[in-house]
Each structure stands twice: as structure tokens, then as C-alpha cells.
Amino acid sequence: MRRFSILFFLFTVLLVWTGCKKDDDTNELKAEFAWELTGNPGEVQFTNMSANAQSYEWNFDDGKQSTQESPLHVYEQNDTYIVTLKALATGQSIAFSDTLVVNNIP
């Protein structure tokens, strides 16, 4: 019986510790986005999935930028682009980049 009590105690401690464990800092600045070619030639919808940012700076790698949260951007030629999103908060910034292939312009 004593062995059961000790095991139960250890299990309870582990359960409480896991439940109270801090997974991520909820105030951590994060930059992330997804993109999707739309049905229109060269048109790409960007979806911002950043966290805790106050403003955004997009670089579309075609000489154009945006400060919108989730912009719609139109490329003029098929190519491979490295798109960068910079998420900004007071005294902080973090960037995320992804490779985009535009291949829907006739």
C-alpha cells in the first residue's frame, strides 16, 4: 500500500508540474506568414501569423514593400522570390523569410 501511495504522490507532482510548466512566453515576439497564389495572374495573398507585434514591414523581393498586416501583392513576372516579414514591437524586431515561386503569369 505504501508503494502505491508513493507512486500516486510522484504521479500527482509530475501532473501538477507539467500543468504549470510554461510552454511559451505569451509575450514573445514572433514573425511568421503563409502565402497562396490566387486565381489572378501574379497575385499572392499573404496571411500574417505573427504574434505580439505592433507593426509590420514586408519586403516582396521585387523592389516593393508594404506595412499592411496581411497584404495582397501582385508580381509582374514569374520568378522565385524570397519574401521577408519583419514584426516589430517596442524595442524589438524579428524577421521571417520564405521562398515564393510565382508561376501563374501567362
CATH of the domain at 83: 2.60.40.10
20 pLDDT above the threshold of 90:
no
* Residue 67: per-residue pLDDT: 98
How far is 101 from 37, CA to CA, in rounded Å?
9
- pLDDT of 103 higher than 50: yes
Whether 16 is covered by a domain: the verdict is: no
The boundaries of the domain holding residue 77 are: 33-102
Domain count, the chain: 1
| In a domain? residue 69 | yes
Q: Quick one: cell of 93?
A: 524586431
Residue 12 domain flag = no
Which one, of 3, 4, 101, 89, lies nearest residue 44 by Cα?
101
Write the single-letter amino acid at 45: Q
